[in-house]
Amino acid sequence: MTKDGIQDIAQFPQDVEGLPRRRFMQQLLGTAAAAAVLPRHVWGDPAASLENAARHMPVEDAGDEAFWHLVKNQFMLREGLIMLNAANLCPSPYPVQQMVFALTRDIDRDPSSVNRRKFSGLREKSREALAGYLGADSDEIALTRNTSEGNNIVIGGLTFKPGDEVVIWDENHPTANIAWDVRAERYGFEVKRVKIPPACESVEELIRPFRDALSGRTRVLCLSHLSNLSGVALPAQAICRMARERGVLTHIDGAQTFGSQKVDLHDLGCDYYTGSAHKWFVGPREVGVLYVRRERIPGLWPSIVGVGYSQDLEEDARKFETLGQRDDARIAAMAATVEFHSTLGVTRIEKRIKRLAAALKSRLLKHVPGVRFHTPLRPEDSGGVVVFSAPGIDLQKALNTLYHEHSIGAAVFGGEQAGIRLCPHIYNTLEEMEHAALAVSSLAGEGP
């Protein structure tokens, strides 16, 4: 046992077949919790660690392929698999996995309330780490289970009356669209959907539809920071400023930006922001984050009231996480995930994702005749989500063909924005972007 009461991981059997413990990054063992779980003898050679490489790179350096191959080695993706579906679900790197495994074993060995007391402190370490990572105060951060839960806490926690209006982007995720419809049906307020023009060429073109939709009855403006359907990145800071000047609350679904780009919530100016750890953040599954701007906390009712709730929490975002028994190990591992991002550099991660997305677009243009992008080609107008279609591609077959014949994990949409969605992340390489484009080009013969 360690001094913190957590069983030494050296006593554990191999967690996953072939798991290379020596790939653990020394820097990730710097926090008190990590040091307790991962003792010094499993660190490996610090000189060869990824942390060492990142530390000697200038902040503005996006890294070469050799560096990103080191990053790729932190993930246990099976040999040959090219995962391009980060908008849906991402693997976790070894240090995050091992934190979850070790703390889960600790609970299973001794689930007594006395032993589990330490998790209150580890939860607060995660909260503080996330607050720093997102540019917020720790009292403004609630640790939820995912973006969907955070969205519904906001939607269910505000008070409306007949005649009130909520404006939403038609490209929002269902938990930030349909959930508003259900709430409106129950309480009698109106939901107004906004559509942006295709192929917008300026920030003003993106802002105007939302500005025109606001009225004297509008209470809330809800939009995705970046669309999972088209890959369009909205100028959220400018939209939040515009809404605030009109006395309208802003609710930002950050599922596609939490972990994929640098986010400063105080600078962004929104009132509510939600995110999931299992997407771009590459964190533990079934943990999420809800940000509520300090002055908005008293006016938002909790959806669930359970053990730990008290009137003392009325001005504290912790009042939104009295959700019953939680998986303490996963919540504690959020701090290790922030550490992983900090090791690589948040700005460097954002640059890498945009570079991969740009490379993928250019290779699709080169190899796929007639390719049409739903996603803007300019990196500043998009992120890591790339959605496209092309003549001759049978979308009903594309998903299985890409996976079974080319070992590519992707997503496929029907409806108005029908197409293939590919979302590269830091565990991908430029070589894989070429392979993906060639695989898509081979689909053209599948069409009717």
Domains belonging to the chain, first-starting first, are 123-341 (3.40.640.10), 348-443 (3.90.1150.10)
- Binned at pLDDT 50, 70 and 90, residue 438 comes out as very high
**pLDDT above 90 (res 410):** yes
Mean predicted lDDT score pLDDT of the chain? 88
pLDDT score for 329: 97
**pLDDT above 50 (res 311):** yes
Residues 6+ apart with CB under 8 A from 289: 130, 134, 141, 142, 143, 144, 150, 258, 273, 274, 275, 277
Q: Residue 317's CB: how many other CB atoms inside 10 A?
A: 28
CA angle, corner 388, sides to 416 and 225, nearest 5?
75
Q: Positive or negative, the Cα torsion across 228, 232, 235, 240?
A: negative
Among 55-69, 217-231, 263-277, 282-296, the least confident range: 55-69
Interval 212-251: pLDDT, tens: 999 999 999 999 999 999 999 999 999 999 999 999 999 9
pLDDT score for 419: 95
Which of the given ranges, 5-9, 43-47, 150-154, has the highest pLDDT on average? Answer: 150-154
pLDDT score for 445: 65
What is the percent of the chain with per-residue pLDDT over 70, rounded to a whole number? Answer: 88
> Is residue 259 a contact partner of residue 243, using CB atoms and an 8 Å limit?
no
> Is residue 146 a contact partner of residue 279, using CB atoms and an 8 Å limit?
no
